[in-house]
């Protein structure tokens, strides 16, 4: 009799633990918000060999997978990101001088950083 009660208690505890574990990921996933109109500005910090300015910026936020470009400036707007830390990757042209015909002289730099996003319309600097 004692063994049957012990077995029934063990099964009840195991079922309760299983249902608690399976419901936890669903709750975590549903709480992630998608924020819009995220802006990323690339600074001279992303020009490790020095530069006079930053142009031709390409940026990707890997989650949810949005990207954008700005060929004349240093800021990309209209990106999307989920709540929390997101991997932000990019390339930019570091302009070191001006060529004979007005074109930029310089080099490209590739980088990746993590940024925390908590609201729509947020701007971050890299």
* pLDDT tens readout for residues 32-47: 789 999 999 999 999 9
pLDDT-derived band at 102, boundaries 50, 70, 90: low
Residue range 6-13: mean pLDDT, rounded: 43
Q: What is the reported pTM?
A: 0.71
- Each residue of 46-92: pLDDT tens digit? 999 999 999 999 999 998 989 999 999 999 999 999 999 999 999 99
pLDDT of 13 strictly over 70: no
Q: What is the 3-state secondary structure (H, E, C) of the chain?
A: CHHHHHHHHHHHHHHHHHHHHHHHHHHHHHCCCEEEEEEEECCHHHCCCCCCEEEEEEEEECCCCEEEEECCCCEEEEEEEECEEEEEEEEEEEEEEECCCCCEEEEEEEEEEEEEECCCCCEEEC
Please report, for the chain, the start and end positions of each structural domain, with discontinuous segments joined by +: 1-31, 34-125
Give residue-wise pLDDT tens across range 15-33: 444 344 443 444 344 467 8
User: Can you give the pLDDT at residue 31?
Assistant: 61
């Amino acid at each position: 009799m004692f063994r049957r009660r012990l077995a029934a208690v063990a099964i009840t505890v195991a079922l309760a633990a299983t249902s608690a574990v399976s419901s936890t990921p669903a709750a975590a996933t549903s709480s992630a918000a998608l924020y819009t109109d995220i802006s990323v500005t690339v600074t001279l910090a992303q020009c490790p060999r020095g530069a006079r300015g930053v142009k031709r910026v390409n940026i990707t936020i890997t989650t949810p997978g949005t990207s954008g470009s700005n060929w004349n400036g240093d800021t990309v707007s209209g990106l999307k990101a989920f709540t929390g830390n997101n991997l932000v990757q990019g390339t930019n042209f570091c302009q070191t001088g001006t060529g004979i015909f007005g074109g930029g002289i310089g080099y490209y730099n590739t980088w990746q950083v993590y940024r925390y996003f908590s609201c729509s319309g947020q701007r971050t600097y890299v």
